[in-house]
Every structure is written in C-alpha cells, then in structure tokens.
C-alpha cells in the first residue's frame, strides 16, 4: 500500500464528514463535488443517492433507493446526523472499491 492511498484512507475515516444535499430531481448534478452526498427526490419520493468514489478515481456513483430496482440501498439520515447507507458499496468495475458510508465517514472493507 503506498503512502498516498494510506493517507486517503485515514482522511476518509477521520476527516470532515460528508454532507447530505437534497435535490428535487431524479438525476444528480454534474459534476458532483467530493465530500457531498446528493439525495435525488422526485415528487417527494427518494430515487437515488449520488457521490464521487472516495478512492480518488473521480468516478461518480449513483445508488438507487427504489425498492423495485435491484440492487438498491437504504439511506439513514436526519437533521442531527450525517448520512449512512446500507449495504456496503462494492464496485465490480473500474477501481473495484469496497466501502461503507456510515455517519458521513467512509469505512473501507
């Protein structure tokens, strides 16, 4: 493991928490700033969560929240807590990162 990757992992876990931003649209904004998590809503229904991959590859991730679509994730958040997602995010292509978003921090698997 190189030093830059190690530092990024420590920063992701102990640095500033990711902030949830709600957008009234079924698509996330482009580009997505790092350290932001976008909740996309349409008609009051949560559609997806979008964020940049925390590994540093720069890819945008869009994770579906709709129960009818597989795979799907669940978002836990309120006014006092940063966002958490379940289950973990495991990229099968590209950088192949595997991580959890818990209480606004990245936890690597």
Per-residue model confidence as pLDDT tens digits over 49-58: 999 999 889 8
Q: Are strands 98-102 and 105-108 parallel, antiparallel or unpaired?
A: antiparallel
Query: Which candidate, 97, 41, 101, 83, places its Cα nearest to that of 65?
Result: 41
Contact 87, 70 (CB under 8 A): no
- Nearest-angstrom CA–CA distance, 1 and 61: 24
pTM above 0.85, yes or no: no
pLDDT value of residue 9 = 74
Round to whole Å and give the CA distance between 53 and 85: 14
pLDDT at 80 over 80: no
pLDDT of residue 1: 57
């Amino acid at each position: 493991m190189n030093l830059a990757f190690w530092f990024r992992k420590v920063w992701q876990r102990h640095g500033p928490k990711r902030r949830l931003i709600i957008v009234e649209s079924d698509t996330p904004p482009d580009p997505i700033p790092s350290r932001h998590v976008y909740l996309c809503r349409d008609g009051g229904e949560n559609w997806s969560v979008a964020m940049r991959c925390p590994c540093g590859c720069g890819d945008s991730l869009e994770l579906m929240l709709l129960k009818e679509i597989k795979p799907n994730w669940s978002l836990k958040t309120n006014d006092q807590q940063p966002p958490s997602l379940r289950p973990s995010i495991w990229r099968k292509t590209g950088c192949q990162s595997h991580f959890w978003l818990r209480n606004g921090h990245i936890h690597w698997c």
